[in-house]
Amino acid sequence: MTHEASRLTPPSPRRGGRDAHALLCHLVAILLVFLALPAHAGTLGRAGLEKHFPPPLVVGERDDRIPVWPILKQEAGAYEIIAYAFESIDFARIPGFGGTAPDLLIALAPDGTFRDAKVIAHHEPVFLEGLGSEPLFAFVEQYVGLSARQPIRVGRPNARAAGAAPATTVDGISMATASTRVINETMLAASLAVAREKLGFGAVNTGLRVEAKPDYAPLGLAELERRGWVKRWRMTPAEVDAAFAGTGLADPDPGAPDEPFSDLTIAYLNVPTIGRAILGEAAYARLMREIGPGAHAVMVVSSGHWSPLPDDFVLGSVPDRLTIQQGGLTVNARDAAWERRDLAPDLPAGPWTLLKIGDAAGFDPSAPWSLSVKVTRERGQIFPEKIAREIATEYRLPPDLFTRAVPDEGPSWTDSWRARASELGIIAAALALLVPVLARHDALVAKSRPFGLFRLGFLAFTLGFVGWTAQAQLSIVTLVGTVRALIHTGDFGFLLYDPPSLLIWGFVLVTLVVWGRGTFCGWLCPFGALQEFCAFLAKPLRIRQVTVPPRLDRALRQVKYAVLAAILLAAALGSPLADTVSEVEPFKTAITLYFARSWPFVLYAVGLLVLNLFVYKGFCRYLCPLGASLALAGRLRLLDWIPRRTECGSPCQLCKVRCRYGAIEPSGRIDYPECFQCMDCVTIIHDPAQCVPQVVARRRGRRIVPRPVAAE
């Protein structure tokens, strides 16, 4: 048997690509022209705010230093500030996935709670003509009543109904996880910036973890009072009358002259020496287990003429007459509904409450804090007017009774990575499997049937898990957001809130340099995978593929580049047309929203799938702007990696005929910007039963020995 040498071209350094490189340089230059455009600021003036805060509320004068407006309400003949209103974009420009920061109207009450929260403007793609803006509006409204001094987290949909802490958790939105986290970060960052200026939040660290040391000393109640660890607070009638000075209100029931108005005993129970002295060892241990790590317990025992714990006080509720404050802010404290048993015999015999402070409140028991009581008096008989005054006393424990630590939880985007760790692990494992399969042409790729089954299985994973489950469909919307961020904010942190997509983006950028566009378009695009599965219907439906004439085919392939240029130019100019033209992608409809969208968008997406039955992947080849951007970037690849023989193109045309993407020219040369890396031609060239030169050589009694040839 004689041997005939047939040259098989190995991966070789690519040639040309200067035109694409020049085009990219021009595009970058165009975008840089717009870098000097001013960033957007708040849009609401007094007139705009008055629409949101109508009478009887009054919009006060804007602060001289920062764009904050006091919101006033008349109380007892005087105007009282009930909130500070501001726009988030003036304090926190965190880009969303549209590339621009959302603008929220926030009204922050003096105690740090959100009195109002509304969306003024946003460019979040999933809500624009997708889910609609109503779910976003409802999401933001959840913040009303929550405290800005607590680390509020975005949970899963219906997280609060499932048991998540309602004071520190807001329900997320399906298919909009990353966008809602950006909104949450914006809400908290802007509010804390205002609070530091207007409310003194700087003294409170919401991430602080202060715990009592386990040290114990057997001290009696008298010694604890002497040290000030248990505080006895006796309010005299004169002190209360002084609080109501100028109101003309006297105590309607003053009681005996020598009897204190109220007599309170206050104790912080987490310190073992204090808690065990008051509750006993067993009850103290049970209390610490029940409130959980990081939480705090404060006991208030009442005696005297007046009690802050009236007869109708409901166990487990927030006391109306008792308030714990620290750093000028109210600390969320609720009755722990602790069983009413006998306490230490030396304590006054009166009603008492055990107040629980959650671990998210940022409460620091090693720093001074105060307990306030609210006393209410009335004047008038027919329409009595109630006037309330708060009287406070300070409580302080030695700092050496505690350990202090600020957990390093990292920035807010790390929550997304922790929450989606399992999805990231699965996708990373799939990518790790894909690389050696595609890289080793003489292994699985060379075996037609096993490789075909592998490809179908991987495409099913891409569609089902990457697309519909992990919501990691890459999109031109990300490039739009990147351009907007480049021009308006310079902040690309919004990309970190969608870790599965970012992982795939990173993989795609690396493979672009090695293989070109095809790795994403042929293997990792969920909508592309959906088209491939739909194409299987063509045969049972007896639909014949339409062959597009070569000249028309070449012209249609340029359309996607024109669409890409229009989108990026609109994004650079700050035009909303960028969002509109981006809808040429059906990804949001078919993958992100599961076709649950208004009928024009569904009809368009379904129409592209039907087109796919006649013109294989017509959208990907002719319209996809994301594919166009990857094709341009893919021209910078390092290798011409698809093996070729000298017979490819002349005389053999088998690979060209079999290529459904039209990515092989009559000469046998691979058009890499149009190659989707299906690997069919690679399988053919390694299969002696399919590769025509090998078949011919075998019939002639010859064997082809592949030998490398130098690149032209």
pLDDT digits (tens, 9 = 90+) for 188-224: 888 888 887 777 654 344 456 788 999 999 998 889 9
The 3-class SS string of 207-250 reads CCEEEECCCCCCCCHHHHHHHCCEEEEEECHHHHHHHCCCCCCC
In whole angstroms, give the CA distance from residue 275 to residue 272: 5
From CA 265, how far away is CA 308, in angstroms rounded? Answer: 12
Residue 406 has, within 13 A of its CA and on its CB side, a CA count of 5
Angle (CA) 616 433 630, round 5°: 45
Asked whether 190 and 86 are in contact (CB, 8 A), the reply is yes
**pLDDT confidence bin for 522, thresholds 50/70/90:** very high
| Cβ 186 vs Cβ 88: under 8 Å | yes
Mean pLDDT, range 466-470, rounded to an integer: 90
The shares of helix, strand and coil residues in the chain, as percent rounded to the nearest 5, are 40, 20, 40
Cα–Cα distances in angstroms (integers) from residue 83 to residues 57, 77, 112, 119, 484, in the given order: 10, 18, 9, 17, 33
- pLDDT band of 290, cuts 50, 70, 90: confident
Closest Cα partner for 578 from 485, 642, 467? 485
Q: What percent of the chain has pLDDT over 70?
A: 84
Residue 459: closest CA among 534, 532, 511, 512: 532
As a whole number of angstroms, the distance between CA 283 and CA 289 comes to 10
Could you tell me how many residues make up the chain?
Answer: 712
Cβ-proximal residues to 33 (8 Å cutoff; 6+ apart), any chain: 572
pTM (2 d.p.)? 0.60
Is the alpha carbon torsion for 498, 504, 506, 512 positive or negative? negative
Give the pLDDT band of residue 393 (cuts 50, 70, 90): very high
Helix/strand/coil (H/E/C) assignment for every residue in 251-279:
CCCCCCCCCCCEEEEEEECCCHHHHHHHH
pLDDT digits (tens, 9 = 90+) for 583-632: 899 998 898 878 877 888 899 999 999 999 999 999 999 999 999 999 99
Average pLDDT on 361-370 reads: 84
Q: What are phi and psi of 79, to 5 degrees?
A: -90, 130
CB 646, CB 6: distance < 8 Å: yes
Q: What is the CA radius of gyration of the chain?
A: 35
- How high is the pLDDT of residue 34? 38
* 348-354 average pLDDT score: 83
**Spatial contact of 148 and 116, defined as CB atoms under 8 Å apart:** no
What mean pLDDT is predicted for residues 117-126? 85
Query: Which residues contact residue 476 at a Cβ distance below 8 angstroms, ignoring those fewer than 6 apart?
Result: 564, 567, 582, 585, 625, 626, 629
Judge contact between 301 and 352, C-beta under 8 A: yes
Token digits of residue 31 = 């975008």
Residue 25's pLDDT band (cuts 50, 70, 90) = very low
Q: 20 pLDDT exceeds 50?
A: no
d(CA 282, CA 17): 78
> What's the mean pLDDT when you consider all of the chain?
82
SS3 479: helix
**Count of Cβ atoms closer than 10 Å to residue 164 Cβ:** 16
With tokens 């080849």, the residue in question is 621
Closest C-alpha among 262, 198, 273 to residue 229: 273
Residue 566 has which token pair?
């229009």
Using DSSP's 3-state secondary structure scheme, residue 541 falls into: coil
Q: What gap in Å lies between CA 645 and CA 667, rounded to an integer?
A: 11
Cα pseudo-dihedral 473, 478, 479, 483, rounded to 10: 180
Sign of the dihedral defined by the CA atoms of residues 547, 549, 550, 555, in that order: negative
pLDDT at 3 over 50: no
H or E segment at 104? strand 103-108
Under a CB-based contact definition with an 8 Å cutoff, are residues 389 and 261 in contact?
no
DSSP, collapsed to helix, strand or coil, labels residue 385 as: strand
* pLDDT over threshold 60, residue 287: yes
| Contact between 318 and 334 (Cβ < 8 Å) | yes
Of residues 74 and 618, the one with the higher pLDDT is 618
Helices (H), 440-495: 448-461, 476-484
| CA gap 106, 601 in Å, rounded | 34
Q: In the beta sheet, which residues pair with residue 169?
A: 153
**CA separation for the pair 513, 128 (Å, rounded):** 34
C-alpha span between 325 and 327 (Å, rounded): 7
Q: Nearest 5°: CA angle at 588, between 585 and 590?
A: 95
The per-residue pLDDT for range 394-449, each reduced to its tens digit, is 999 999 999 877 555 566 677 778 878 899 999 999 999 999 999 988 889 888 89
CA distance 631 to 633: 6
Other beta carbons within 10 angstroms of residue 534's beta carbon come to 15
Question: At residue 31, does pLDDT exceed 60?
Answer: no
Contact 147, 115 (CB under 8 A): no
pLDDT in tens, 254-279: 666 667 888 899 999 999 999 999 88
pLDDT greater than 70 at residue 12: no
Q: What are phi and psi of 202, to 5 degrees?
A: -60, -20
Nearest to 678 by CA among 688, 663, 690, 689: 663
Q: Which of 412, 406, 288 is nearest to 356 (CA)?
A: 288
Q: Tokens 């990518």, residue?
A: 431
